[in-house]
């Protein structure tokens, strides 16, 4: 498959090997949601909580992607719309809770932030490597790989925030990263809506790939 992010492929995920990989990635995301949310609460880190919600959203959206494989184009577009809506809801929660912690929160625990962010990064890198072979395909297939790739970038941001929190003893770097993640969720949702609507209006046409999950 071509690595060109604007190339078109008709691969719709109808492959036993792809479905097995997707099941593994769903399990990784579900486990990391539980781990990261637990330590996000203990360590009082909004960035970890935001990233944990991203793991939850990904596990749910990947499960929908698995269900949508082989379905009609209109069904796959509807699934994409649901993915976009879930990202908007996550962004609203992250933004609201971050504003609350700006007024009432304590400085997060930097060692917890960094150690959990490293674990999350490793989990996402494993997902990226598993999905690399399937990085091209229709919107339903490609979005899974892009989400995992973008999540790894988000984990690096959390790690950087943990380092700044450690040296400054301030909660602002953690809150800033949480707000940036909320913005990324919103941007991704808008891209998903745009592509899903385009595919609904022109189910047999070619559409440019988006670099948003």
User: For residue range 12-31, what is the model confidence (pLDDT) as tens digits?
Assistant: 667 888 889 999 999 999 99
Residues 6+ apart with CB under 8 A from 206: 8
Residues 6+ apart with CB under 8 A from 152: 121, 124, 125, 128
Tell me how long the chain is: 213
Question: Could you give all domains of the chain from N- to C-terminal order, each with its CATH number?
Answer: 16-201 (1.20.1510)
Give the H/E segment covering residue 165. helix 139-168
Query: Is residue 106 scored above 70 in pLDDT?
Result: yes
Report CA torsion sign: 65, 131, 88, 100: positive
Query: Is residue 206 scored above 80 in pLDDT?
Result: no
Task: Over range 73-99, report the average pLDDT.
Answer: 82
Q: How many CB atoms lie within 10 A of CB 125?
A: 15
- What is d(CA 169, CA 167) in angstroms, rounded to the nearest whole number? 6
Residue 104, classed as helix, strand or coil, is helix
Query: Is residue 130 scored above 70 in pLDDT?
Result: yes
Distance (Å) of CA 157 to CA 49, 62, 92, 95, 163: 14, 23, 20, 17, 10
The confidence score (pLDDT) of residue 31 equals 95
Backbone angles phi, psi at 159, to 5 degrees: -60, -45
Which structure tokens are listed for 85? Answer: 């809506």
Percent of the chain with pLDDT over 90: 12
Sequence-ordered alpha helix ranges (H) in 71-138: 73-104, 110-131
Which structure tokens are listed for 94? Answer: 């992250």
pLDDT tens string 159-205: 888 888 888 888 888 888 888 888 887 887 887 788 778 877 776 65
The confidence score (pLDDT) of residue 1 equals 38
**46-68 helix and 16-42 helix, angle to the nearest 10 degrees:** 160
23/141: higher pLDDT: 23
pTM for this model (two decimals): 0.73
The confidence score (pLDDT) of residue 7 equals 43
């Amino acid at each position: 498959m071509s690595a060109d992010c604007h190339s078109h492929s008709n691969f719709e995920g109808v492959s036993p090997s792809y479905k097995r990989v997707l099941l593994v990635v769903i399990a990784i995301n579900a486990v990391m949601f539980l781990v990261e949310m637990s330590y996000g609460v203990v360590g009082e880190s909004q960035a970890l909580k935001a990233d944990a919600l991203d793991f939850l959203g990904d596990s749910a959206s990947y499960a929908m992607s698995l269900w949508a494989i082989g379905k009609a184009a209109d069904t796959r577009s509807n699934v994409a719309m649901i993915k976009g809506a879930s990202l908007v809801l996550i962004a609203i929660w992250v933004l609201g809770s971050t504003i609350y912690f700006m007024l009432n929160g304590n400085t997060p625990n930097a060692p917890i932030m960094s150690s959990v962010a490293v674990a999350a990064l490793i989990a996402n890198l494993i997902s990226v490597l598993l999905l690399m072979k399937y990085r091209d395909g229709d919107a339903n297939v490609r979005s899974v790989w892009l989400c995992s790739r973008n999540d790894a970038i988000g984990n690096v941001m959390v790690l950087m925030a943990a380092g700044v929190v450690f040296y400054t003893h301030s909660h602002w770097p953690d809150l800033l990263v949480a707000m940036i993640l909320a913005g990324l969720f919103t941007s991704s949702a808008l891209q998903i809506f745009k592509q899903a609507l385009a595919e609904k209006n022109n189910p047999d046409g070619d559409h440019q790939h988006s670099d948003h999950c």
